[in-house]
Amino acid sequence: MNDQKNVGATTIPHSRPTLGVEESEAVSEVIRSGHIAEGDIVRRFEGALADRVGIEYAAATNSGTSALHLALLAMEVGPGDEVIIPSYVCSALLNAVTYTGAAAVPAEIEPDTFNLDAADVHRRVNRRTAAIIVPHLFGLAADLDPLLDLGVPVVEDCAQAIGANYHRRPVGSFGQAAAFSFYATKMITTAEGGMVTARTGGIDKRIRDLKTYDQREDYEVRYNYKMTEIQAAMGIVQLGRLDSIIRRRKRIASTYNRAFRELNLKLPVEADGHIFFRYVIGLEMDASPWIQALTQMGVGCARPVHRPLHHHLNLADYPVTDEVWSRSLSIPIYPTLTNTEVSRVIDAVTACHNRFK
């Protein structure tokens, strides 16, 4: 196959949001109302997401990082504590832990699921461990049971996994708290934004206290982490699209699986609850030449994690994370990807495979 076939064609973005007329109308209605700061529409969005997750308490924030930060603070994580997080994840988790004054302790991942390795987490737990942040990476639920069995408070990171299931229950309903992100290219979007769900009213009350900083009778450090009515209006529409978004992602993933099954590639884990926020393939070599070649063919792609956290922290002895980071590649998968674009991605990946095998 000629891997120059699509040179000059419009580049297929690695990610893009799924937006329509309904979002525009909902946002316009808020603007016309003149009430754009946090209010009734935010509360409606909180209620809708809580219902979706199957949990009683949900508080909207201005980002997923803010959601993680508030969850940790509400659980009284602070200086002198340690929080275990995977090394193979974006730096938002490291930032949220650092904001509290606690120390982040990176842990290894499972090579097939990319989620936290419970055995490695167990080795790192000590008397200073105040929490474990458990991402459901790329839309596949982490194996929560052995992590919950450790007896350490768990915060689920559902930034990439709203709509995913574990034991047929929605992720976000297992830990003491959970954080969601609605960044532009997440499963659903409010452009920027997030949400914290909590199992207890005490945690929820503390979160709301911490994000409502003005006109208070007492003073303590609080945070300007509120969501706007504009964002919430968009979020309500997006949440209503979630099932169709997941169906389309799964259909594209199935098409990729059929096309790539005979190639020498490691394909994503297939599981009922997997919603394919990312479609990540494992290569027999470093991903850099593939990224360069696919980019030249007009297919957006990327390492799914920019850099493991232990690299930033100058730590060693994370062999699984290093191997996964070096050889993993994320290719386009989102609802607005057309069938023609899916075919172009398949042709380009196949061409790269034939070139580099």
- Binned average pLDDT, 10 residues per bin, the chain of 357 residues: 52 97 98 98 98 98 98 98 98 98 98 98 98 98 98 98 97 98 98 97 97 91 97 98 98 98 95 96 98 98 98 98 98 98 98 95
- Report yes or no: 12 and 332 within 8 Å, Cβ to Cβ: yes
The count of residues in the chain is 357
SS (H, E, C) 293-318: HHHHCCECCECCCCCCHHHHCCCCCC
- Rounded Cα gap, residues 30 and 260, in angstroms: 45
- Rounded Cα gap, residues 305 and 316, in angstroms: 18
Domains of the chain in sequence order: 21-237 (3.40.640.10), 243-356 (3.90.1150.10)
Q: What is the pLDDT of residue 290?
A: 98
- Report yes or no: 218 and 106 within 8 Å, Cβ to Cβ: no
Query: Which uninterrupted H or E stretch holds 196?
Result: strand 194-198
Query: Which uninterrupted H or E stretch holds 354?
Result: helix 339-356
> How far is C-alpha 234 from the chain's CA centre?
19
pLDDT for 275-314, tens place per residue? 999 999 999 999 999 999 999 999 999 999 999 999 999 9
Which pTM does this prediction carry? 0.95
Q: Residue 190: beta bridge partners? A: none
- Report yes or no: 252 and 337 within 8 Å, Cβ to Cβ: yes
pLDDT for 64-89, tens place per residue? 999 999 999 999 999 999 999 999 99
Q: What's the one-letter identity of residue 27?
A: V
Q: What is the pLDDT of residue 77?
A: 98
Non-local (6+) Cβ contacts of 177 within 8 A are 71, 74, 75, 155, 156, 196, 197, 198, 199, 203
Non-local (6+) Cβ contacts of 34 within 8 A are none
Q: What separation in angstroms does the CA of 177 have from each of 70, 71, 169, 191, 352?
A: 10, 6, 15, 23, 42
